[in-house]
Chains A and B, each alone.
Chain A
Amino acid sequence: MNVTSAIDNELDEPRFNHCTATRNACKLCTPLGACLVFRGIEGTIPFLHGSQGCSTYIRRYLISHFREPIDIAASNFSEESAVFGGASNFKAGVSNVIRQYQPKMVAVATTCLSETIGEDMDRIFHDYLKESWHEGHPHLIKVSTPSYSGTHIDGFHAAVRAAVAALALPGDRTRRVNLFPGMVSAADLRHLKEIADDFGLPYTLLPDYSESMDGETWSEYEKLQSGGTPIEAIHAAGCAQCSLEFGRTLADFPSAGRFLEERFNIPNRRLGLPIGLRETDALFEALEAASGLPTPAKYNKERGRLVDALIDGHKYVFEKRAIVYGEEDLVTGLAAFLAETGILPVLCASGGKSGRLERNLREVLPMLDERTRIHDGIDFAQIAELAESLKPDFIIGNSKGYALARKLGVPLIRVGFPIHDRIGGQRILHLGYRGAQALYDTIVNALLDVKQTSSPIGYSYL
């Protein structure tokens, strides 16, 4: 490869080629995140203002991960709307969606197309509502999600903020806690609800696609799958005692938690994604503070078992080398956890570019040294170039790392999104002591499997 301007100067350092194009992206587009959030609100139908192709592609991708239906409406721009604006398509689209689905809310996200032509969404909303609003009309909210700025995770957080900004109502302070978990799995959301319930805390968990995107079979046809954060709960978020938002990158982001803090003076506590011991400890501390109660015994036991397992398994994992990739906050959480187990994250990589990845990693892992490389705004081609000399024992991230794992001949531990080459991506538990336990067992067993498979003798005691 004769493309020059390598990032690193020292010749013996692992390096990758600079490339103007993104090759095998390690990020998805902004409206995808927004659509997922909106489908995590009860009775809400996501609506993309733009070409129908965006809706089709995003549905296709979300479905391949969740293996659940998701309807995302679109205003189906034609060339004419691209030139003269999509106001009439918007109106027709919203009316048709309301008529067919009788939703509680239509949640609109913009696309590259409507953003590029500079659609005045405020005006379109104003005109639409002036003409069509009536008593009992579904809520209508919007978020700006051009895919040429940010990644799916930015669209996700922006949509959470948009929902809160439009729907949270002021009132007397209650015991309620707002939980803004970020883009986690359906199993993670269920676990968080269980934890909040066990603390006896009323909560607003936003979004909550634990049922709508991981539901049962139907005895009755469900136009919009049931489940999701009740809109009343989002109203009530304005009276909560505090917000807990997960994701250290949110420090520089106009997040939902920050909105509530600025608007309603609700204290916002920002935590890392609670993956592994210490980040989960921080969550439980925050919940103890909010509830005034000690952590329920069951979680102390889970923590105890996790620590015990780390000791049982340490000899299999210490000094193992891992490449971690995905959204920045997921990478930070996973790296924190891996380091706790004795595994060395040799590369922490993300397609996101909040500018905070390195700082966040150093916050959770002050002991990080030159053996760990940190790259944001990276793609899989560059990760693959680095991986050659990093000699990882395994890689951990979404299904898009499969080609790399295959090339390196190491296991891929599937976490995050998208997972489209295994069943049950939505049921992978990452959060809490329980999530760490599940991840740990998966990682250790994958390493044992390698050892066993590659052994010429094939011992069955390991």
Chain B
Amino acid sequence: MAPEITPLPIAPEAAATEAKATIDKMLKAYPAKTARKRAKQLLVNDPEAIPQIGANTRTIPGIMTQRGCTYAGCRGVVIGPISDILHITHGPIGCGYYSWLTRRNLVRPRHAGDTNYLQYAMSTDMMEEQIIFGGEKKLRQAIREAFDIFHPKAISIYSTCPVGLIGDDVHAVAREMKEELGINVFAFSCEGYKGVSQSAGHHIANNGVFKHMIGRLDEGDKAEFNINLLGEYNIGGDAWAIDEVLRKCGIHVTATLSGDVTYDQVCKAHTVDLNTVMCHRSINYMAEMMEKKYGIPWIKVNFVGAEATAKSLRKIAAFFESKKLTDRVEEVIAEGMAKLKPVRDAVTARCKGKKAALFVGGSRAHSYQHLFADIGMETIAAGYEFAHRDDYEGRAVLPTIKVDADSRNIEEITVEQDPVRYNPRKTPEQTKALEEGGFSFKDYTGMMSEMKKNALVIDDISHHEIEKLIELRHPDIICSGIKDKFIIEKMGIPCKQLHSYDYGGPYTAFEGAANFYQEIDRMLHTKVWKYVVPSWMKEPQLQATPIYNPKEPKPKAAAPAPVRKPEAGGEAIPE
């Protein structure tokens, strides 16, 4: 079996030097210019004096990125999960095919016979003829037919790369069809080449949802504590787990943007009293715009992790300033924590002190650190795929973020107070009182303030850098996506996918936390890893054993363990 080594705590200076050395080794393979650019995205963290990160900058051509495109962010992430809009991809076949249910955003029809178009991937499947002569005619025809077949409440059109280039006016087609068919039809100019990553698509999607859906139904749900959950996409049933815990507390969710949500729910989202934001990156635009137009305040929440869930519930209760709600929330937390305790304790006993690294998304690389912290695991490195500086450094840096050419491409819509429906949910006095009591609105402080000093922060990590990280820092588990998973696992390190959850989940709230702890425990401790010796274990560096505390048990083996192969027909290898 692999040698068990309990490292001594390293002196802070040594840790800083080691972290810096890791980054230097990662950069060494790059040409000078590339290395200079990448250096701005590879940092040693200091929560006290947060360094500036070069996030949301273009991936250098030829560097193997995890990032997707604008279309993926718009069609795939933000709007795709709305279940009763008929989504039509306008373009050649690939993009529509690849966004066909690949995100695992689950939907559960409320009533038998409810519409769910998510199994359906509709594409105009543009051919050479449309590229040359234009695709508007085909798009119009596709929309008419889609309407005839389904009579959907709304139809949404997504542009792929060629559409913008050949100059198809998808918005004009949408307006025309809206008039002709009498249903809501709208379009998104989310061509793949716009913006730096899928993040541009999130922004475009936010704008479209705000313009074309929010505010269309003024009759809201009747509920005492009425909120929206923004930036929660119901991967693996996450939104359901959150909804359940909120329901227990007596908090009603009008719309979840956009996991398992219907068109009507989105249309009346402006009737709530509070917006809670899960994924800051993909949806903060919406929260801001709704506040400006309708006076709905927003707060950052995080239901990933037991402690984080408790904190978020308390924060919502504090907002409503209701003793009844506060008491109920405390009961739910106590019940959830008590139920979770045996699992959490058992898993913590086995996982404490293990090291995790997370490279995913625009919020998950941060929020999942809370789950690892719950079970005593340390995050030694983390980074986002497509986040911006504010997701790393906190919203305080927003005024200092430079607008570059890529961001300028994306429409910033001007939002004004709605003359009729603007209704600040709190008076300035109430807001002030809350804030003085320690409550903070729109308060995302970013990933780095919550990470340890000298942890590595790596934006848009490449395969090469992952390889170096494994070789030099030996994480016990890495959380990432499918594109990295099999590279990491071939090197003998378990990799948990945080996009598709390896087809598991939910991982939110108390119920989900238990799932995650157990899953991580199983992944770390399954016997299959014993068949593989990570390549770094064979490096001579390991044989130059550091000084061990004499009181500590002597490490079993400083020399590399031989690769074991199961004998044909043999039993599982004994410990």
Contacts and interface: CB of A to CB of B under 8 A. Distances in A.
A95 B146 CA distance: 46
Contacts of A95: 31, 62
Contacts of B128: 146, 148-149
B102 A117 contact: no
A23 B121 contact: yes
A29 B92 CA distance: 8
A51 interface: yes
B432 interface: no
Contact of B162 (A92, A100, A148): A148
Contacts of A69: 463, 483-484, 486-487, 490
A74 interface: yes
B531 to A, nearest CB: 8
B94 A221 contact: no
B96 A25 contact: yes
B482 interface: yes
Interface residues of A, number: 76
A218 B537 CA distance: 12
A88 to B, nearest CB: 9
Interface in B346-371: none
Contacts of A64: 482
A17 B150 CA distance: 13
Given A1-B149, A23-B121, A148-B127, A57 B141 contact: no
Interface in A38-85: 47, 50-54, 56-61, 63-64, 67-69, 71, 73-82
A256 B52 CA distance: 53
A28 interface: yes
Interface in B476-497: 482-487, 489-492
A403 interface: yes
A113 B29 contact: no
Given A20-B138, A63-B486, A148 B70 contact: no
A23 B122 contact: yes
Instruction: Classify chain B's interface size.
Output: 35 or more
Interface string A150-164: 010000000000000
B72 A53 contact: yes
B535 interface: yes
B145 A148 contact: no
A96 B471 contact: no
Contacts of B471: 221
Contacts of A93: 61-62
Contacts of B263: none
Contact of B123 (A22, A56, A58, A76): A22
Given A57-B72, A63-B486, A29 B62 contact: no
A111 interface: yes
B467 interface: yes
A417 interface: no
A403 B63 contact: no
A89 B69 CA distance: 16
A220 B535 contact: yes
Which residue, of B34, B69, B71, has the highest number of chain A Cβ atoms within 10 A?
B69
Interface of A: 1-3, 17, 19-25, 27-32, 47, 50-54, 56-61, 63-64, 67-69, 71, 73-82, 89-90, 92-97, 99-100, 111-113, 115-117, 146-149, 151, 215, 217-223, 381, 403
10 contacts: A21-B125, A21-B146, A23-B120, A25-B96, A29-B94, A52-B65, A56-B72, A63-B482, A82-B165, A96-B61
